[in-house]
Copies of this chain bind each other. A is one copy, B any other.
Amino acid sequence: MKKVFLKDIAEKLNVSKTAVSLVLNNKGDENKISQETQKRIIEFAKEHNYVPNQLARGLSRGKSETIGLIIPNISDTFYSKIAGYVELKAKNLGYTVLFSSSNEDPKKEGELIRSMLNRQVEGLIIASTQQNLKDIQSLKQDKFPFVLIDRHYPESDTNYVVVDNFNGLKTATEHLLQLGRRKIGFITLKPGLEAIKQRLLGYQSALTDFDIEYKEELIKELSPGNYENEIESAIRELLKFPNSVDSIVFSTHYLTSVGLRELKRKNVKVPQEVAIVSFDELTAFDLVDPPITSVIQPVKDIANTAVDILINEIEGKDSAMDNKRILNSKLEIRKSCGTF
B64 x A74 contact (CB < 8 A) = no
Q: A77-B283, A80-B77, A80-B80 are in contact. Are A54 and B119 (CB under 8 A)?
A: yes
Question: A101 and B119 in contact (CB under 8 A), knowing A59-B55, A288-B289, A289-B289?
Answer: no
- Residues from chain B with a CB closer than 8 A to the CB of A290 are 289
A56 touches B53 (CB 8 A): no
A243 to chain B, nearest CB (A): 24
Q: Min CB distance, A1 to chain B, in Å?
A: 5
Task: Flag A75-111 by CB within 8 Å of B: 1 or 0 each.
Answer: 1110011011101100000001011110000000000
Determine whether A73 belongs to the interface, using a CB cutoff of 8 Å to chain B.
yes
CA distance A141 to B117 in the complex (A): 35
A277 to chain B, nearest CB (A): 15
Q: Is the CB of A1 within 8 A of B75?
A: no
Residues of B within 8 A of A76 (CB): 80
With A77-B80, A99-B99, A257-B284 as given contacts, are A55 and B120 in contact (CB-CB < 8 Å)?
yes
Interchain CB contact (< 8 A) of A80 among B75, B88, B118, B142? B75
In this complex, how many residues of chain A approach chain B with their Cβ under 8 Å: the count is 50
Interface pair B87/A120, CB less than 8 Å apart? no
Q: Does A49 contact B (CB under 8 A)?
A: yes
B87 touches A115 (CB 8 A): no
Do A51 and B118 touch (CB < 8 A)?
Answer: yes
Question: CA of A301 to CA of B97 in the docked complex: distance in angstroms?
Answer: 26
In-complex Cβ contact of A74 among B51, B83, B260, B285 (8 A): B83
Instruction: Tell which of A1, A80, A264 has the most Cβ of chain B within 10 Å.
Output: A80
| CB of A232 within 8 Å of the partner chain | no
Pick from B1, B58, B75: contact of A55, CB below 8 A: B58
CB distance from A73 to the nearest CB of B (A): 7
Indicate if A222 sits at the interface (CB-CB under 8 A): no
> Which A positions have Cβ atoms within 8 angstroms of B?
1, 49, 51-56, 58-59, 64, 73-77, 80-81, 83-85, 87-88, 96, 98-101, 114-115, 117-120, 138, 141-142, 257, 260-261, 264, 282-290
